[in-house]
Amino acid sequence: MTQEVLTQEEGGILIITINRPEAKNAMTKAASEAIAAALDRLDAEDHLRVGILTGAGGTFCSGMDLKGFLKGERPSVEGRGFGGLTEQKPAKPLIAAVEGYALAGGLELMIACDLVVANSKAKFGIPEAKRGLAAAAGGLMVLPDLIPHKVAMELALTGDFITAQRAYELGMINRITEGDALSAAKELAASITANGPTAVRVSKQIMEESRGWALEERYAKQAELLPQVFMSADAREGSLAFAEKRTPNWTGK
């Protein structure tokens, strides 16, 4: 039986590939569990610094496998959400590399990632309403936090698609490439792995968690997390490397 999710390491990057090209990478329960396991590995192994989530065969993910849905299957992991990701993100950065379509649950997987690189011909949408369904894995709640509310409302109520250029203009994606999205995502990942791992992890944590902090508590809550950065060996190494005009030797400590 073909593996529904493949993983590959490359220079501190863990590439996670949804491998159901014959079904436009529609998400199944097995694939969700495999993605969750890969993300656990990303966080657990110190030499892995950044993850990339992509799809095989020229499509990112077309959403939930409707054949499985009709049989009563739900492509989620308890406590982790759709695709093993939408309700619990990894502590380390995760980049979506999008080719073809990121639709329905596929778009929800994409917006659960921290950064997005897409091919210029990619298409995006939450067309669940066209099937009598709703974008319940973040499309209705997370998307309005990322793009203008009325635009998110239009996407949800019409189910229409938008282009990569429009998604870029809205701030839904970070970079557009004329080449393959995975190569461009690797370049973006390399610019992250060049930095201090603790600084990257804690910066992501603060940016994610501070969205829910009360304004008057923000600096106090940030101050609770920052000592692990500023008192680390890497903070000293980074300063020394700058003074000595050399590349830092990060240890993650």
Would you please indicate which residues are annotated as catalytic (active-site) residues? Answer: 108, 128
Structure tokens at 10: 């490359």
Task: Give bridge partners of residue 251 from the DSSP assignment.
Answer: none
| 126 and 159 Cβ atoms separated by less than 8 Å | yes
Sign (positive or negative) of CA dihedral 141, 147, 148, 150: negative
| 164 and 105 Cβ atoms separated by less than 8 Å | no
Long-range contacts of 218-224 (CB under 8 A, 24+ apart): none
E strands, 137-212, in order = 162-163, 175-177
Which residue type sits at 194? A
* Nearest CA-CA partner of 28 in 95, 75, 86, 83: 75
| 198 and 252 Cβ atoms separated by less than 8 Å | yes
Q: What does DSSP assign to residue 173?
A: -
